[in-house]
Amino acid sequence: MIFRKAEFKDIDRIMEIYEVARQFMVDTGNPNQWIDGYPRRKLIEDDITKGHFYVSEGKEDGKLHGAFAFILGDDPTYEVIEDGAWLNDEPYGTIHRMANDCTIKGLLEKSLPFCFGMTDNVRIDTHADNIPMQGAIAKQGFTRCGIIYVDDGSARIAYQLKKK
């Protein structure tokens, strides 16, 4: 798998990946996390413009199979954490909007070395109903740190992993 910054020519495929991911969420008991077409095209375009949106390409087929934002710096939604605390206050990067087209497995696992190439401190969050993502996060050794709230006010379980 190859990771690279997304380009505007990738948008249509990225939106297809999100459509597959939304259906996977519904099929696995998580109909409430990415509703009403989230993430919207405009958000992804903004992420690309800001230079913090990435895609994964298959080495064999050259097709895009995964997409995510990886944002270095303070995340406003992470300023307040309930029912716990962050592992540290050191600079970090945050993984957001991670999705794949269901033809690959282990996108989080495969993307972590790429993310750790930019920082040794990574945070991520997910919905309480997103059991597959919670399992992937736990498998990678993230520590559950508490509950944060995203822009629409809904709760997310927040995690952090510090590279040793």
- How high is the pLDDT of residue 32? 84
Q: What is the number of alpha carbons within 13 Å of residue 6 lying toward its C-beta? A: 27
- How high is the pLDDT of residue 93? 98
- How high is the pLDDT of residue 70? 98
- How high is the pLDDT of residue 61? 82
Per-domain residue ranges for the chain? 2-162
Q: If we measure between CA atoms, which residue out of 96, 155, 152 comes closest to residue 129?
A: 155
Token pair belonging to 29: 């008991």
- How high is the pLDDT of residue 62? 82
Give CA–CA dist 25/57, Å, rounded: 22
- How high is the pLDDT of residue 58? 85
> Mind listing the pLDDT tens digit of every residue in the chain (164 residues)?
899 999 999 999 999 999 999 999 999 998 888 888 889 999 999 999 999 999 999 888 889 999 999 999 999 999 999 999 999 999 999 999 999 999 988 999 999 999 999 999 999 999 999 999 999 999 999 999 999 999 889 999 999 999 97
Strands ordered across the beta sheet of 143-149: 2-5, 53-57, 64-72, 93-100, 121-126, 155-162, 143-149
- How high is the pLDDT of residue 44? 97
* CATH number of this structure's domain 2-162: 3.40.630.30
